[in-house]
Structure 1
Amino acid sequence: MRTRSALVYSVLRLLAFFVPFGIFMLIPIMREYYWLSAIFAALIGLSLSMIFLRRPLDEVTTGLAERRARSKDERSDEEVEDGALPGPEAGSTTDAAQDRPQA
């Protein structure tokens, strides 16, 4: 993933929110209800980013997928979890039953 594409996408998403929010703050009634301005700006920003920012989003997600594929640690989640156990006998209940004296 190129840092530039992630930075461009993040800045454009922030602008898609803050520009409408700033415009709403110029309206006197919306200054009183700033939370309503924030909701409207979020909806407008989401809509704008879905329409106009599809290509930067694709670049960022493609870069993340490539980076994950190139990672040095190729082990699966199950292998990592199994490696976290202290030993093979840690989860075994049959060993504990064999250690008990029988009456």
Structure 2
Amino acid sequence: MRTRSALVYTVLRLLAFFVPFGIFMLFPIMREYYWLSAIFAALIGLSLSMIFLRRPLEEVTSGLAERRTRAKDERSDEDVEDEVAHGPDAAPDRPQP
């Protein structure tokens, strides 16, 4: 996963919440009911992120999936040492590639 893509997605999601929240707080009635402003801002932020932030979300999730499969594919040093020392059947409980 690229750190940059995760950071960009996080910043955009935060902006999608805080910009509407700040606009709502400009109205005197919404200052009194700040919790209602937060709910509306969350709903607006969710809607905006579902519409406009699909590509950054896909980049982050594909990076996470790639990182996870890469971690599964790597074998430990102990497995490699056992295979060299005792042959390919040294660790029968571990899957062989």
Q: TM-score range by the shorter chain?
A: 0.7 to 0.9
Alignment map for 1:66-81 (pairs within 5 Å): 66-71=66-71
Q: Which residue of 1 aligns with 2:90?
A: none
Query: Paired residue for 1:46?
Result: 46
Identical counterparts, % of pairs: 92
Distance 1:23 1:3 in 2: 30
Tell me how many residue pairs correspond in the alignment. Answer: 75
Cα deviation, residue 74, structure 1: 6.3
For residues 17 and 55 of structure 2, what CA distance do their matches in structure 1 show? 18
Over residues 13-66 of structure 1, what are the superposed CA-to-partner deviations in whole Å (9 max), with x where a residue is unaligned? 000000000000000000000000000000000000000000000000000000
Q: Which portions of structure 1, spanning 4 or more consecutive aligned residues, are displaced by more than 4 angstroms?
A: 72-75
Gaps of at least 5 residues in structure 1 are 76-103
Gaps of 5+ in 2: 76-97
Deviation at 1:73, TM superposition (A): 7.1
More helix by share: 2
Q: Amino acid of the residue matched to residue 65 of structure 1? A: A
TM-score, normalised to structure 2's length?
0.74
What amino acid is aligned across from residue 30 of structure 2 in structure 1?
A: M
